[in-house]
Amino acid sequence: MVSKVFLGLGSNVGESEVNLRTAIMLIEKNKQVVLINNSSLYETKPYGPVSQNNFYNIVVEIKTEYSPTDLFYFLKEVEQEIGREPAERWGPRSIDIDILLYSDEVVCNDIITIPHKDMLNRDFVILPLLEIEPDIVHPELHEKVNEILISSMEKTIISKKEFRL
């Protein structure tokens, strides 16, 4: 079965835009994944308490035959190939790839939580997601994401630019 998935990617170590392009290229190279769409590239202030460089973030839409858990492990391999090393929570990283939504599934186990548990608190996730899919419905809340009150969300976006692959 093929599932529609949204991934959030971010980088703030090294050449961030190159890291994002490389991650997307490695994801797309996999025969079990088809890249459908991507958002603009967003420069954002770091999220969380750690002092660090600004991030570059993007959301991509894929179709895949992977199960949520198998996709998670594949994406961790992509992160390692780009040079991601274990780091403190919300700390600097060469690449971070999160599964935001996996079709309309809700998954919560020791390995993964989908929808991403913190996505509604992050403007650098919600705005690029809505750029790709303006009417997307949150599978747990059963509401359109663009109608969920997110006024308390920390504003981190500095700029936005077109991102062509």
Catalytic residues: 84, 93, 96, 98
The two tokens of residue 76 are 């961790």
Distances from the Cα of 25 to the Cαs of 19, 82, 125, 129, in angstroms? 10, 11, 20, 19
Strand pairing report for 113-114 and 143-144: unpaired
Distances from the Cα of 163 to the Cαs of 77, 118, 134, in angstroms? 24, 24, 18
